[in-house]
Chain A
Amino acid sequence: MHDLTNAVWIELRKATRSRMPLFTALGFLVLACGLAFLMFIYKYPTFARSIGLISAKANLVGGAATWPYYLGILGQAIAIGGLLVFSLVESWVFGREFADGTLKDLLAVPVARANILLAKFIVVVLWSLFLTVMLVLVSLLLGATMGLSQGTTEVFWHGTVTLAVAACLVIVDVFPFAFFASVGRGYLLPMGVVLLVLVLGNVVTIAGWGTYFPWAVPALYAGLTGKGNLEAASYLLVLLTGLAGMAGTYLWWKYADQNR
């Protein structure tokens, strides 16, 4: 346990001293501002048109300046934006050891490799949760400032649960990116895979198989298709994907030749 505590301390120190937290936080803040901007347009469409924020031909059908709609698109933003940003965090935490040549200092040490890896996963989870909470709080603040309607306790409770579950699904979904960063010995492979996953996610969802594509499950859960058609198998697939990512990363770090 002491080794794990030390390993977490090390990973936290490395993460907080780097620019990664700043850049990912900025990314999520931009996302929050983008969503708030959208709600502003829905709330004040005539004003937005008059000052040129949107074109006269802009189609605003389907959206509404309400808390349920706002929380719904926030959930989708976490599901899709989170996949991008959390996988970036995952790739950085694992891939940097290869890219920076620091991996060798973690290999022949009297600390179990499982502890070193677990500490990395813990930091990824903590930072992803922090980003989610920050995004939600900033969004709530902006929503409250705009005076969105239908803000009942039930709406907020349901919205909070949806956002929390969507965030957890994404966080588990990105565990395999630690494996891709390790196998690719850097950032390129996981970044390539995340783009591929986003494209494939769209294709399989349109084809109706999104419930069986683990990286599409969080967006479907958050209501991308407007209906909750997920099965227990969908959640199980996400869990298995996360576990496979962790196991693959461990096996790679333990048994692969490390030449960096």
Chain B
Amino acid sequence: MNLPIETVDLGKRYGKVIAVEHLSLRVAEGEIYAFLGLNGAGKTTTIRLLLGMIKPTWGTAQVLQTRVRLGSRKPWAAVGYLVETPHSYQELTVFENLEVARRLHPGTTPEAVSRIIERMGLAAYADRRAGTLSQGNAQRLGLAKALLHTPRLLLLDEPANGLDPAGIVEIRELLLELTREQGVTVFLASHNLAEVSRLAQRIGILHQGRLLQELDVDELERKRRRRLLVRARDLEAARLALAIAGHPAAMLRDGTLELTDLPSLEHPDDIASLLVQAGVPPTQVMVEEEDLEQYFLRLVGINGGHNHA
């Protein structure tokens, strides 16, 4: 199988601090793999390990079938990347910054610079010094540098940082187009859960340097917790009626009944009828699905997911 990224037991320790450990990843060709984690989870360290900027304490990494080694020239001709905040040479114009990037990728034609400027919506700023750009345009310049040489693999650290909503949509569509039409593989690290859920086909959840879970989007759908929330004027009576009918309900702190049994989730109309017949008609019946954020917080054990009384 052709794996653009493969790591085996990869890890990095700084003194007594373990930034990443036991990381075994397999990213398939043409997929968008999102690395999800809180600040300090080890996302950037992983990207630096994959780019050969820091040497692993344990394990190995292969990028485009090449073992990653510090200071090596391979396989970077086919890799584009954006690590943390994009920095550019402030005194150079947008065009010159991209020309610098082009000359660092031999074989990239001079036309590629103008092309990427157009594509990233930087034409109006081409002759502006990078130091005068807004955060959003600096981010666009960073992405332009990553995409300039039409790489087969993109490693992007928080690619949506600093972009306005329209810019976020634009970049999302661009990345989807690159994977769909050119088979580019995208590995992105982010803490923006909403963005990740819209973009990625597979998600790796990283917490305190460890990969807690890897799942594809369909799997996420299945694993996300669903619950039926019921409100009534007499909650205790409603809970009793549901319990008698074989639907155990938990009382939440905010005065709502929570049902998680499958029949309730699949037939909320039956629950409503049952309560009406028991003389405690519901004032609200709602199926709520856990979103990625709640799922993530529940997984990493941080309060913020569904809470119970």
Chain A interface (Cβ < 8 Å from any Cβ of B)? 2-3, 6-7, 9-10, 13-14, 17-19, 100-102, 104-113, 253-255, 257-259
Instruction: Knowing A13-B96, A17-B96 are in contact, say whether A257-B89 is a contact too (CB < 8 A).
Output: no
CA distance A3 to B74 in the complex (A): 15
Query: Which residues of B pack against A, CB within 8 Å?
Result: 48, 51-55, 70-71, 73-74, 76-77, 79, 81, 83-85, 87-92, 96, 99-101, 103-106, 145
How far is A19 from B90 in the complex, measured between Cα atoms in Å? Answer: 12
**Could you say which residues of chain A place their CB within 8 Å of the CB of B87?**
100-102, 104-105
Q: Which residue of B lies closest to A251 (CB)?
A: B71
Return the contact of B55 from the options A106, A110, A257 (Cβ within 8 A). A257
Q: Are B103 and A110 in contact (CB under 8 A)?
A: no
Q: Are A253 and B105 in contact (CB under 8 A)?
A: no
- 30 residue pairs of the A-B complex, CB under 8 angstroms, read A2-B106, A3-B106, A6-B103, A9-B103, A10-B100, A10-B104, A14-B89, A14-B91, A14-B92, A19-B91, A100-B90, A102-B89, A104-B53, A104-B83, A104-B84, A104-B87, A105-B87, A105-B101, A106-B104, A107-B52, A108-B51, A108-B53, A109-B76, A110-B73, A110-B105, A111-B105, A112-B73, A113-B71, A253-B71, A255-B71
Q: Are B106 and A6 in contact (CB under 8 A)?
A: yes
Enumerate chain B residues within 8 angstroms of A2, measured Cβ to Cβ: 106
Which partner residue on chain A sits nearest B99 by CB separation?
A13
Contact among B55, B90, B96, B104 for A111, CB-based, below 8 A: B104
Q: Which residue of A lies closest to B50 (CB)?
A: A108
- Known: A14-B89, A105-B87. Is A110-B77 also a contact (CB below 8 A)? yes
Q: Are A108 and B100 neighbours in the complex by a CB distance under 8 Å? A: no
Known: A104-B83, A109-B73. 18 other contacts (CB 8 A): A6-B104, A6-B106, A7-B103, A7-B104, A9-B103, A10-B100, A13-B100, A100-B90, A102-B87, A104-B53, A107-B51, A107-B52, A108-B51, A108-B52, A109-B76, A110-B73, A113-B71, A255-B70
- Name the residue of chain B whose CB is nearest to the CB of A253: B71
**CA A100 to CA B88, docked complex, whole Å:** 8
CB contacts (< 8 Å) of A112 on chain B: these are: 73
Instruction: Kindly identify which residue among A106, A109, A258 contacts B54, using a CB–CB cutoff of 8 Å.
Output: A258
Residues in chain A near residue B71, CB distance under 8 A:
113, 253-255
Find chain A residues with CB under 8 A from B74 CB: 110
Cα–Cα, bound, A124→B297 (Å): 52
Kindly report which residue of chain A lies nearest to residue B54, judged by CB atoms. Answer: A257
Q: Please give the distance in Å from A133's CB to the nearest CB on chain B.
A: 25
Contact A100 B51 (CB under 8 A): no
Chain B residue at minimal CB-CB distance from A3: B106
The minimal Cβ–Cβ distance linking B65 to chain A, given in whole angstroms, is 15
* Residue of B with least CB distance to A107: B53
**Are A100 and B105 touching (Cβ within 8 A)?**
no
Q: How far is the CA of A258 from the CA of B54 in the complex (A)?
A: 6
| In-complex Cβ contact of B89 among A7, A100, A255 (8 A) | A100
Give the docked Cα–Cα distance between A113 and B85 (Å). Answer: 23
- A107 to B101 Cα, complex, angstroms: 12
With a CB–CB cut-off of 8 A, which chain A residues contact B76?
108-110
Most chain A CB within a 10 A radius of its CB, from B52, B85, B89: B89
B residues within 8 A CB of A102? 87-89
Q: Given that A255-B71, A259-B48, A259-B54 are contacting pairs, would A105 and B145 also be in contact in the complex, using a CB cutoff of 8 Å?
A: yes
Task: Look across to chain A and name the residue whose beta carbon is closest to the beta carbon of B77.
Answer: A110
Closest 3 CB pairs of A and B: A254-B71, A101-B87, A6-B103
